[in-house]
Each structure stands twice: as structure tokens, then as C-alpha cells.
Amino acid sequence: MKITAVELFIIKMPLKAPFITHLGTVQDREGIIVKITDQEGMTGYGEGVAFSTPWYTEETVKTSIHMLTDVLIPVLQTHPIDHPDEAAELFKSVRRNNMAKAGLETALWDLYAKQQALSLSKILGGTRQEVASGVVVAADSLTNALKQIESYLEDGYQRIKVKISPEQDYRFLAEIRKRYPLLPILADANSAYSLDDLDRLRALDELNLLMIEQPLGHDDIIEHARLQKQIKTPICLDESIVTFDDARKAVELGSCKVINIKVGRVGGLSEAKRIHDYCVEQEIPVWCGGMIEFGISRAHNIALASLQGFSIPGDISASSRFWEEDIILPEVSVENGVIQVPNSPGIGFAINEKRLKETTIATKVFPI
């Protein structure tokens, strides 16, 4: 791929409104934009999506900067690669740190697609010209949640995801279901429950939820398998699925009926595609999860979600869901509940250089 330089831009931007879950609140989002340049001056972009604190996984922006600076980019400096799939192989010697790996690997995929003058969607084997868009309602009260739902349905989103926990579950969901009897609703628990809550979780069966996401332990597939046998609502796994093998074991055990694939959580597009291809074979529907990310990661998600098996609207919302102004041009927009998949080379979005500059708090440059 004849890479000559890697640059990191650490950026920070306030959310338009706090993103509230039982695990904590995200008000300002830091992120890492990875820019790779080749000897022709062509550039590819990736995004490290770890949060500033380790509330979702063990990674943070700081651990990602360390891994990129001291481990992953040095690997690239000593091992030239010809195809992005080789990165996943090269990074195997590094345990976990998937979001740092994905930040670099996705930049390689964008650059590679541009070098082939093909869209990233095409290069990945995507067949969809548009992807269905869902949105997350992360509110701390029923009133605020209902306000958000009404506004998002006016924007055309096809499905709503709400955050639940023992403090906010049956009554909260029943009130929403009463107002929207046919609305596709996904409830994300982010591991707020245990098997002791079986009755609480079984009570949700009557609300006709699309699925319940990650009700039990963040690294569990055994108890989820036991739970799935006891409840009708399909279980979707998110945090538990960090590798292809996690997905294979979860499917074999019956731990879930749906998988939320997040490029950052699984270490990049190569692994995300492997999980997708396996789930298609096993007839397990998948959808593309979100990470309250900026436009570069959103663009990679759109390309991934253009693969045939992404049959459920993902957490791929418009740039305006979180940001006053995104770092890409054009911004991601949702029309009639779908996002058009770009046909131009690579991720199909340009960098908004002005916005990147004004949101950058630090940069690092590495010759390759």
C-alpha cells in the first residue's frame, strides 16, 4: 500500500445533549482521527472510538493513543502491507485493544479502497445502495424520552433504541408502547441485570420488543444462553462479542438471536466482515451498532451496513443526532429513514478541514 505517514488528530466536541445511561453520562466526546498517506499523496481516514473513561470497555482515548503510538504504528513501520486484511493478522500479537486497532485498520481500508478507485462498500462486498437508520434515545425521564422519540420519528428513523435498567424498564417501556403500539423498539440494558432479575426480564415479553440488548454481564455468553431459553424476547449481544470466536461460541450456545456488530469493539472491518459472513451462514440477523462517533466512523459503519446480512436498522443516525457540526462533508443525513451509501472511492465523505482544525486538541505525526 506504499504508506509514507500516519497522523493522529485527538479531537473533542460537546454533544448537543447529554447521552445518559445507567453506566454514566457522556457530555463531551473525545476521539482519535487516524490519517494515513501513501507515496502518491492519497489519504485514508479511520477513527478510534474508545471513550475518555473505561465505562463501556477497558479502553480509553489515552490507552488508544498509547497503543497506536508505542505498538501498532511501529508494527506498520516495520511490516509494510499490501492489503488491509494483513493488519488484523499483524495485530494478532497485540492482545485486545480492539478500538485502537480498528482506528488504524479502518484508515487502511479507506486508503486501499481509494487506491483501487472503488467505494469501501463495494470493496467489502456491500450490495445495498441505502442502509436503514435507527436512533438511540438516551434520556433520564419518560417525558424527555417521549419528546426525543416524537422528534426522531418526524425525522423518519425506522426504529428506536432506548436504554433500560431495573430503575427504568417495564413501566417506562409500557408507556412508550402504549403511545406507539407498532413502533419497532429495541431496549439496551448494558449489563444492568442478572439472572436474579429473570421475572423482571420475562415481564418485558408482553411489550413486543424487537430485542433486548446485553441484559447480563458484559463478558458473558453462558448466562445469556440460560436466559434466552426463559424469555421470548430475542437477546442481542453487544459487549460480549469482541471477536469472531465470541460470536461463534454465542451462536453455538444459543446465547443470542441477534448480534450488534461494532467495528471498533471487534478490532476493525476485517473481523466485522468475518462475523457478518458467519451470521449470514447461521441465519442470525445482525445490525451495525454506534459509538457516539464522529463522521469518519459513521462513514465506515455505512459501508459495513451495506453488506446483505445487515437486515435490521442500525445505530447509524445523522451527524446532527449528536453534533452541531461534524468533521466530514457532506454530513451524514437520514431521508425517509435511510442513508444513501456513497459510490465514490473510499468512505465517500471528505474531511471538513476547518471543523477538524477547530476541534483538534493534539496531533502526532509518524513517518512510515
**Quick check: is 262 catalytic?**
yes
Residues 255-314, interacting with ligand 164 (CB under 6 A):
289-292
Q: Indicate which residue of 163, 229, 357, 364 is catalytic.
A: 163
- Measured from the CB of residue 290, what is the shortest distance to Mg ion in angstroms? 9
Q: Which residue is nearest to Mg ion (CB)?
A: 238
Question: How far apart, in whole angstroms, are the C-alpha atoms of residue 66 and residue 15?
Answer: 25
Nearest to 172 by CA among 185, 182, 184: 185
Binds ligand 164 (CB under 6 A): choice among 60, 106, 190, 233: 190
Amino acid at 348: G
Among Mg ion, ligand 164, none, the one that 317 touches (CB under a kind-dependent 5 to 8 A) is ligand 164
| Cβ proximity to ligand 164, 190 vs 352, nearer residue | 190
Q: Is 326 in the site for Mg ion (CB under 5 A)?
A: no
Q: Strand, helix or coil at 197?
A: helix
Nearest to 70 by CA among 45, 42, 37, 104: 104
Question: How far apart, in whole angstroms, are the C-alpha atoms of residue 254 and residue 108?
Answer: 34
Q: Is 238 annotated as a binding residue?
A: yes
Query: What contacts 308, CB < 8 A, 6 or more positions away?
Result: 127, 128, 280
Nearest to 339 by CA among 197, 215, 156: 156
Q: Is 136 in the site for ligand 164 (CB under 6 A)?
A: yes
Are 135 and 321 in contact by the 8 Å Cβ rule? The answer is: yes
R_g of the chain, CA atoms, integer Å: 20
| Cβ proximity to ligand 164, 119 vs 260, nearer residue | 260
Size of the site for ligand 164 (CB under 6 A): 12
Q: Is 238 in the site for Mg ion (CB under 5 A)?
A: yes
Q: Is 110 annotated as a binding residue?
A: no
- Measured from the CB of residue 325, what is the shortest distance to Mg ion in angstroms? 26
Q: Is 244 in the site for ligand 164 (CB under 6 A)?
A: no
Q: Indicate which residue of 147, 262, 273, 364 is catalytic.
A: 262
Q: Is 86 annotated as a binding residue?
A: no
- Measured from the CB of residue 121, what is the shortest distance to Mg ion in angstroms? 24
- Measured from the CB of residue 161, what is the shortest distance to ligand 164 in angstroms? 6
Query: What contacts 156, CB < 8 A, 6 or more positions away?
Result: 133, 334, 335, 336, 337
Q: Is 110 in the site for Mg ion (CB under 5 A)?
A: no
Binds ligand 164 (CB under 6 A): choice among 148, 168, 233, 317: 317
Q: Which residue is nearest to ligand 164 (CB)?
A: 290
- Measured from the CB of residue 21, what is the shortest distance to ligand 164 in angstroms? 5
CB environment 201-237: b (16+ within 10 A), e (fewer): beebeebebbbbbbbbbbebbeebbebbeebebbbbb
**43-48 sheet: strands from edge to edge:** 43-48, 24-38, 3-21, 360-367
Burial class (CB in 10 A: 0-12, 13-18, 19+), 32: buried
Residues 33-92, interacting with ligand 164 (CB under 6 A):
56
Q: Is 188 in the site for Mg ion (CB under 5 A)?
A: yes
Q: Which residues bind ligand 164 (CB under 6 A)?
A: 21, 56, 136, 188, 190, 238, 289-292, 315, 317
Q: Which residues are annotated as a binding site?
A: 188, 213, 238
Residues carrying an active site annotation: 163, 262
Q: Which residues are annotated as a binding site for Mg(2+)?
A: 188, 213, 238
Q: Which residues bind Mg ion (CB under 5 A)?
A: 188, 213, 238
